Amino acid sequence: MGGPLRIGIIGGAGWLGGAIADAMLDAGIVQAENLTLSYRTQRPDRLPNCVWTTDNQALADRSDVIFLSVRPADWHGLAVDAAGKLLVSVMAGIRLDALCRHHQTLRVVRSLPNAAAEVGKSYTPWIATADVTEDDRAIVRAVFDACGTQDEVPGEAEIDYLTGLSGSGPAFPALLAAAMMKDAVSHGLDPVIARRAVNTLIMGAGRLFEQRNECPSDIVETFLDYRGTTAAAIEAMRNAGFEAAVANGLATAFKKSVSMGDAS
């Protein structure tokens, strides 16, 4: 491929598509004039130096690499010919073979970043078809390293499982935080104080995991060994079915991802 890299993001006006665009530009992977983003009805005010369009095929025609960042439910009606192009899907559930057939290309990557790409902290697993080249892989790694951390995984079963685990991004910590805040308010804490306490707790835990890079279960055991208030809370949560609820949620998300792929 000669000349500067040209990238298009179908769905670039969305939360995830926009986050990937920002990460690529900040990392210098693509220049603004070579980045094309599509939108449906109203052109966003951001990224003014990029090319914006409502014509997804025109986006594909002027791009070497095409990112698909649309809802899986909207994908079936997306008639875009990507022959000869590298196609990178960030949609949950849609299989590699379906992407190849639908977009007439054999160079396809299926990936699953999450919303934390907005702050450069996404975890992105991905898998590629046999026709994806080493140069293609280098582009994929660069983009998702710019969004956080990435791994090429062995198969689509891993992607389907990780759809519910890492693909949910901040949703699960937010669910825990919301439950904690609700309990705090029910015990008479001012909502502003409760929110600050809970949000700081979650952010602090994330920084601790990042800096220490320990296995989470080791951190839990450390607190259990103290036999104090935290240990009592952990044991009560476990006895109430906390771990079973998490496992059930992840299993349900995995089944949903598989069923979405079967429908494609």
**Per-residue model confidence (pLDDT) at position 168:** 87
**Per-residue model confidence (pLDDT) at position 35:** 98
- Same structural domain, 131 and 220: no
- Same structural domain, 244 and 142: no
- Same structural domain, 195 and 147: no
CATH of the domain at 213: 1.10.3730.10
**Per-residue model confidence (pLDDT) at position 1:** 54
Domain limit, last residue, from 122, 153, 184: 153
Distances in whole angstroms, Cα of residue 250 to Cα of each of 73, 93, 109, 243: 21, 14, 23, 11
Domain limit, last residue, from 95, 118, 153: 153
CA-based max dimension of the chain: 65
C-beta neighbour count of 18 within 10 angstroms: 20
Alpha helix ranges (H) inside the chain: 15-27, 56-61, 72-75, 96-103, 134-147, 156-164, 171-186, 191-212, 216-226, 229-239, 242-263
**Per-residue model confidence (pLDDT) at position 244:** 96
Bridge partner list, 10? 68
- Same structural domain, 143 and 177: no
Whole domain around residue 182: which residue ranges? 171-262
128 assigned to some structural domain:
yes
- Same structural domain, 222 and 144: no
- Same structural domain, 133 and 227: no
- Same structural domain, 143 and 21: yes
41 assigned to some structural domain:
yes
CATH of the domain at 23: 3.40.50.720
- Same structural domain, 176 and 143: no
DSSP per-residue codes, 9-48? EETTTSHHHHHHHHHHHHHTSS-GGGEEEE-SSS--SS-T
- Same structural domain, 30 and 144: yes
199 assigned to some structural domain:
yes
- Same structural domain, 128 and 240: no
1 assigned to some structural domain:
no
> How does pLDDT run along the chain (264 residues), one tens digit per residue?
568 999 999 999 999 999 999 999 999 999 999 999 999 988 999 999 999 999 999 999 999 999 999 999 999 999 999 999 999 999 999 999 999 999 999 999 999 999 899 999 999 999 999 999 999 999 999 999 999 999 999 999 999 999 889 988 889 999 999 999 999 999 999 999 999 999 999 999 999 988 888 899 999 999 999 899 999 999 999 999 999 999 999 999 999 888 887 766
112 assigned to some structural domain:
yes
Based on the structure, what is the number of domains in the chain?
Answer: 2
Chain Cα centroid distance, residue 193 = 31
Name the residue among 186, 179, 225 with its Cα closest to residue 202.
Answer: 179
- Same structural domain, 32 and 137: yes
Bridge partner list, 104? none
161 assigned to some structural domain:
no
60 assigned to some structural domain:
yes
2 assigned to some structural domain:
no
- Same structural domain, 217 and 142: no
